[in-house]
């Protein structure tokens, strides 16, 4: 099956900049390029370091500034703590550019961020650092899920992903792109409600279908989410711990239920 066949609707070509060329960013670049979009891919080290990757997946390797220039949408897939570094870059994007945040906060990797630890939703913090609105999407799935588990629209086992944001038109753009990557996009509410799809919640990396996703979002417990997140990381990082993809998903389901 071709990647573009995962989406059966009509695709309007968009100019999309993706900043971050790790597993999520590179896979999104590959999938969205296969759907006919004009993709520019950037990372923190410069286009020469990702030229081979870009050529393999049929996208342009560019600087971060070039990635946002003239873009209809910009997808950010970088470590959470690096978002303040992008404020100047994003200031050069059009006000109409839809900015999509795929990140998640892990204190062990990102360092402690007091505002988020005190309960501020991750993507609200991101929006404040960038100085512009964002939509939260593609954060609630594993890299292998994004790469391998997309299905055609209409499949009864198609995985659903939450999309949160305050601007209805921007959310609609993000939902459309999520659908094109092989997943059912569910409008999950405002950016302030996006904590319901953060690590440690029942909707995070649990590979739920659409009928399962809304109840999972509704039952999320904000007071327990960080504790669940940290307990899962400790379990996955324990000496000798080797988990299959299926075991990771099962543990996420069990420990956040």
Q: Domain of 156: which CATH number?
A: 3.40.50.720
Range of the domain at 27: 3-256
Residue holding tokens 């979009």? 37
pLDDT tens-digit readout, 165-209? 999 999 999 999 999 999 999 999 999 999 999 999 999 999 999
- Asked whether residue 2 carries a pLDDT value surpassing 60, the answer given is no
Q: Distances in Å between the alpha carbon of 151 and those of 25, 184, 219?
A: 19, 9, 26
Q: What is the mean pLDDT of residues 62-67?
A: 98
- Nearest to 181, CA basis, from 211, 212, 147: 147
pLDDT tens-digit readout, 233-247? 999 999 877 899 999
- Nearest to 80, CA basis, from 30, 49, 116, 118: 116
Q: What is the mean pLDDT of residues 112-126?
A: 98
Helix spans in 62-138 (H): 64-68, 87-91, 107-110, 114-117, 122-130
pLDDT of residue 8: 53
Instruction: Return the H-helix or E-strand segment holding 163.
Output: strand 160-163
* Number of independent structural domains in the chain: 1
- Nearest to 146, CA basis, from 252, 3, 43: 3
Determine the Cα–Cα distance for residues 207 and 252; give it in Å rounded to an integer: 10
pLDDT of residue 30: 98
pTM of the model: 0.95
- Asked whether residue 9 carries a pLDDT value surpassing 90, the answer given is no
Determine the Cα–Cα distance for residues 42 and 49; give it in Å rounded to an integer: 9
Determine the Cα–Cα distance for residues 38 and 254; give it in Å rounded to an integer: 40
pLDDT of residue 3: 45
Q: What is the mean pLDDT of residues 124-153?
A: 98
């Amino acid at each position: 099956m071709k990647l573009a066949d995962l989406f059966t609707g009509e695709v309007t070509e968009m100019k999309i900049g993706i900043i971050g060329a790790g597993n999520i960013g590179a896979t999104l670049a590959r999938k969205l390029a296969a759907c006919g979009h004009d993709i520019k891919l950037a990372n923190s080290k410069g286009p020469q370091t990702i030229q081979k990757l870009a050529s393999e997946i049929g996208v342009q390797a560019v600087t971060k500034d070039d990635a946002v220039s003239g873009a209809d949408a910009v997808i950010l897939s970088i470590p959470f703590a690096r978002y303040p570094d992008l404020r100047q870059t994003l200031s050069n994007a059009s006000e109409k550019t839809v900015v999509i945040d795929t990140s998640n906060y892990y204190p062990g990797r990102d360092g402690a961020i007091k505002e988020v630890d005190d309960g501020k939703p991750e993507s609200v913090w991101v929006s404040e650092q960038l100085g512009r609105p964002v939509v939260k999407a593609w954060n609630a799935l594993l890299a292998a899920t994004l790469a391998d588990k997309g299905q055609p629209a209409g499949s009864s086992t198609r995985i659903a992903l939450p999309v949160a944001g305050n601007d209805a038109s921007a959310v609609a753009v993000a939902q459309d792109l999520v659908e094109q990557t092989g997943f059912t996009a569910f409008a999950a509410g405002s950016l302030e409600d996006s904590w319901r799809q953060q690590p440690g919640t029942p909707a995070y990396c649990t590979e739920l279908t659409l009928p399962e996703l809304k109840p999972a979002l509704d039952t999320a417990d904000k007071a327990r989410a960080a504790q669940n997140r940290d307990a899962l990381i400790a379990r996955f990082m324990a000496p000798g711990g080797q988990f299959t993809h299926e075991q990771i998903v099962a543990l996420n389901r069990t420990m956040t239920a």
